[in-house]
Amino acid sequence: MYSLSQLRRGLSTPSLFFREANRLYHRRLNQQGYNTDGVDIFTEDWDNLLLLDACRYDMFTEQSTLEGRLEHRTSRGSSTREFLKGNFQNRELHDTVYVTANPQLYRHRDWLGASLHAVEHVWMEEGWDETRQTVLPETTTEAALDAAKRYPDKRLLVHYLQPHYPFITDETLPFDDSQPLGNPNEPASWYHVMTGDLSPSTADIWRAYRDNLDRALPHVERLLNDIEGRTVVTSDHGNMVGERAWPFPIREWGHPRGIYTEKLVKVPWLIHESGNRKSTAADEPKQETDHVASDVVERRLEDLGYT
């Protein structure tokens, strides 16, 4: 059901109305909470799984020089929250350590109900870059290498934030001068791009987005070279850069949940083999002791463009 305010907003903003109509189509009138055509990542064969947040298959194919056999998979979500719901919810994953730069698992931990052996929250104080308002890829790699040493008998799931916004290599992303922008690299401005209120050049967005992936890939390569086993490089979901969704052909920016176009759910699956495979054990989970105030979590998510 929709609230009266939601209905009014949808009727006053056609793009939101048609986005919701597309979402109802893809989710089969909300009968499913995630993309049931996607793969269950935990039943796939890997020792280490490296997630590049919001990395499209076509972009990865053009830019990556990482060694390995490139395939593709269909994700269970067009957003991180959906990806987590489709893969983590109410599961015991005691053979897995999750090293994450993304706060979404922490934010939704109660209703997700997932139990992993350990979760390393890189986005907490020591890993957060206040200048860039994100977790830099080198910080995530360092945390992953540390976890690999401390948990040698566990599957390692590493969640980088890049190429997801913020654009850490682009300070002056140009927008249409007629629009009241403030700082174009502020989360509020990026939100207005996603809702269609602002109209940047598609080429400018692509440049910043691709630069973010280029910024991350050397640090992913370092991790590939320094850990053993079967390592897969993939993504939680893709991104849209002004392409039209379906069945209602509105332009989309970012990664709206519940819309399963190819650009949003077709993700890379690069298989890299190095050294011996892991012998994993499903031990009891490590007790989490780190707690973060809810307002800090919300600020982190806002800095990353989530609303």
Q: How confident is the model at residue 29 (pLDDT cuts 50, 70, 90)?
A: confident
Q: What percent of the chain stands above pLDDT 90? A: 55
pLDDT for the residue 182: 38
Label residue 276 by pLDDT band (50, 70, 90): confident
Q: Which domain holds residue 142?
A: 4-303
Give the total number of structural domains in the chain. Answer: 1
Q: How far apart are CA 236 and CA 209, in angstroms?
A: 16
pTM over 0.85: yes
| pLDDT score at 180 | 34
Question: Which CATH number does the domain housing residue 64 bear?
Answer: 3.40.720
What pLDDT is attached to residue 183?
A: 44
- pLDDT value at position 295? 86
